[in-house]
Copies of this chain bind each other. A is one copy, B any other.
């Protein structure tokens, strides 16, 4: 803490804190959902399309390409007809698992807190951590 010398970069954007970097990678409209899917294992394009409700073709392809160029996921193309393409987390992407699990916990905590707006619930759920 204290020094702002070291910078973090993604594409053209500069960040002063590693957390900004991490968040900016997860922040695309469907990125976290895709990562969740792939945390369950390697999947085909069509599987992802089917599992992720309301996503359209362009968005899925685009978000996948962005995750790939960030080094989070890896693309495996099988030279067959009809085409078969699988996506899989890299070691870097796998490293997101603990962070993602905590975000999931917190999201549930948030919902519970939100639903009852009472402090007692907040205290109860806090025990999870």
Q: Which residues of A contact B (CB under 8 A)?
A: 1, 4, 8, 16-23, 25-27, 31-33, 36, 40, 53, 71, 91-92, 95-96, 98-100, 102-111, 113-114, 122-123, 126, 129
Contact = CB atoms under 8 A, between A and B. Distances in A.
Given A8-B111, A16-B53, A53-B16, A23 B126 contact: no
A98 to B, nearest CB: 5
Contacts of A16: 33, 53
Contacts of A23: 23, 26-27, 31-32, 103
A79 to B, nearest CB: 26
Contacts of A21: 107, 110-111
B106 A99 contact: yes
Contacts of A36: 17, 19
